Structure 1
Amino acid sequence: MRRTGAAALMVATLTLSVAACGGDDGSEGAADKAPQSSSAPPKADDKTPKNEGETLPDTSQTLATVKGANGLDMVIHVAKRDDGGFLTLTGEFKNTSGDRVVTPVQWSGTEEAVAATGPSLAAMTLVDSQAKKRYYVLRDTDNRPLTTTRYDSGIDAGKSLPFFAQFPSPAQSTSKVDVQFPGFTTASIEIS
């Protein structure tokens, strides 16, 4: 009887301790929340490669079309100054060939720091000939380029890859810049 009573008391004490510990550290709440929080970031990451949302270009105007190798055209639609001293380019790479075109690894640039982001347009630069300055794609605090990243490694025939790239804004007096990107000739564009 004493042993049964002691065992029951010990089980009750352990149960109470486990419940108290579980409530104090939030392990039950964390277990409930973990699947939601771990599933949310992949959805955001999934959108980035598909270039949804902000990366879809406004195609109502075309600032420049530059032909590249293998039937790829780089079409720049908008070059807009943003609040905070940024210049954002939006456009698309169009596959005008009859075959799927593999996107060159040179598009990502040669910096080791941005290699972890996967495919990107980090090699794109702007040149302000008037001020004799070259601007590179901006980086965030984790050294990720502020441009389209993680896109598919190829563009199917007749399809396009929308893109954006953000740079430091040239001086207000600068109204024209040159866009340089591997595989394409230089494109001169007007800043809106």
Structure 2
Amino acid sequence: MTVKGDKGLDMIIHGAKRDSGGFLTVTGEFKNSASSRVTTPLEWSGNEEAVAGTGPSLAGMTLVDSRDKKRYYVLRDTDNRPLTTTSYDSGIDAGKSLSFFAQFPAPAQGTSEVDLQFPGFTTATIEIS
């Protein structure tokens, strides 16, 4: 699934996979379809003070389970670092991509799709495998 974003960036979602440990991992890539380098927005990292010190991340990504009316945030490790792609370059050159992953708590077993929300992109409904 491809979601068009601001400034010529496309978010290509490869999948959302539930694992036996109770986690859900979303994978994909951001592709720059513009004719020049695009600077990644600061909003991608989220606005939490705890993750601000970790550098660029995708901690601003959330999942919404409309069925159970729950929002899920990117998980953190024991040092409060987000379990997502981090420390990437602040821009993506024309025609290039940035692969990503983001790990969340898994929604209830009966939930088969969630809405992915990320700054600069429209909401995307994705299926859980």
What TM-score comes out, normalization by structure 2 length?
0.99
Root-mean-square deviation over aligned CA pairs: 0.5
What is the alpha-carbon distance in structure 2 between the residues aligned to residue 127 and residue 139 of structure 1?
A: 18
Q: Does 1:181 align with 2:127?
A: no
Q: Does 1:120 align with 2:48?
A: no
Deviations 1:37-69 (A, max 9, x none): xxxxxxxxxxxxxxxxxxxxxxxxxxx211001
Which residue of 136, 142, 152 maps to 2:79?
Answer: 142
Alignment of 1:39-188 (within 5 A): 64-188=1-125
For CA contacts below 8 A with separation 6 or more, give which structure has more relative contact order: 2
Structure 1 letter corresponding to 2:11: M
Structure 2 letter corresponding to 1:157: A
What TM-score comes out, normalization by structure 1 length?
0.67
What is the alpha-carbon distance in structure 1 between the residues aligned to residue 28 and residue 63 of structure 2?
A: 15
Instruction: Provide the identity percentage.
Output: 80
What is the alpha-carbon distance in structure 2 between the residues aligned to residue 71 and residue 117 of structure 1?
A: 26
Tell me the SS of whatever aligns to 2:107.
Answer: coil
Q: Which stretches of structure 1, 4 residues or longer, exceed 6 Å deviation after superposition?
A: none
Deviations 1:88-124 (A, max 9, x none): 0000000001100000000000000001110000000
Tell me the SS of whatever aligns to 1:184.
Answer: coil
Asked which structure has the greater CA Rg, the reply is 1
Structure 2: tracts of 5 or more residues without a match: none
More helix by share: 1
What is the alpha-carbon distance in structure 2 between the residues aligned to residue 183 and residue 69 of structure 1?
A: 5
More strand by share: 2
Aligned length, in residue pairs: 129
